[in-house]
Structure 1
Amino acid sequence: MGETSDPAGDTVGQDRVVVLAGPSGAGKSRLAARLQDAHGWPILRLDDFYRDEDDPLVPRSEQLGIVDWDHPDSWNRVAALDALATLATTGRVTTPVYDLSASRAVGTAELTAEPHDLILAEGIFAADIIPDLRLRGLLAGAFCVHHRPGVTFVRRLVRDLSERRKPPLTLVRRGLALMREEPALVRRQQDLGAEPARARHLEPRLSALARR
Structure 2
Amino acid sequence: MSDSPMNPAPTSHARVILISGPSGSGKSSLAERSGLPVLQLDDFYKDGDDPTLPRLPDGAVDWDSPLAWHRDQAIAAIRTLHERGRAEVPVYSIPDNGRVGTHTLELGEAGAFIAEGIFAAEIVAECREQGLLSDALCLRNGALTTAWRRLRRDVREGRKSLPVLLRRGARLMRAERSIVDRQVSLGSYACAGPEAERRIRVADRAGRFTTV
TM-score range, shorter chain: 0.7 to 0.9
- Contact 1:15 / 1:137 at 8 angstroms: preserved in 2? no
Partner of 1:58 in structure 2?
A: 53
Quote the Cα distance in structure 1 between the aligned partners of 2:203 and 2:137: 15
2:24–2:146: 8 Å Cα contact kept in structure 1?
A: yes
Flag the 1:143–1:184 CA change in 2: closer, same or farther, 3 A. same
Unaligned stretches of 5+ in structure 2?
A: 1-12, 207-212
Task: Tell me what 1:192 maps to.
Answer: 186
* Pair 1:209–1:133, CA change in 2 (3 A): closer
The residue that corresponds to 1:30 in the other structure is 29
Give the Cα–Cα distance (whole angstroms) in 2 for the partners of residues 43 and 101 of structure 1: 21
1:182 counterpart letter in structure 2:
E
Give me the TM-score of the superposition, normalised by structure 2. Answer: 0.88
Task: Give the equivalent residue in structure 2 for 1:81.
Answer: 75
Residue 159 of structure 2 aligns to which amino acid in structure 1? Answer: R
* Distance in 2 (alpha carbons) for counterparts of 1:207 and 1:135: 23
CA contact (8 A) 2:46 2:53 kept: yes
Out of 136, 152, 174, the position equivalent to 1:180 is 174
Please tell me whether the aligned partners of residues 71 and 123 of structure 2 are also in contact (alpha carbons under 8 angstroms).
yes
* Whole-angstrom CA distance in 2 between matches of 1:145 and 1:185: 11
Q: Which amino acid aligns with 1:67?
A: V
Query: Does residue 107 in structure 1 map to residue 94 in structure 2?
Result: no
- 2:175 is paired with a residue whose SS is helix
Percent of residue pairs bearing the same amino acid type: 44
Q: Tell me, yes or no, if the aligned pair for 2:91 and 2:103 is still in contact at 8 Å.
A: yes
The equivalent position to 2:136 in structure 1, one of 142, 159, 164, is 142
Shift in Å, 1:115: 5.2
Give structure 1 stretches of 5+ with no counterpart: 1-13
Determine if the alignment matches structure 1 residue 42 to structure 2 residue 42.
no
Deviations 1:86-123 (A, max 9, x none): 01111110011000001100010110113552010100
Distance in 2, Cα, partners of 1:108 & 1:210: 26
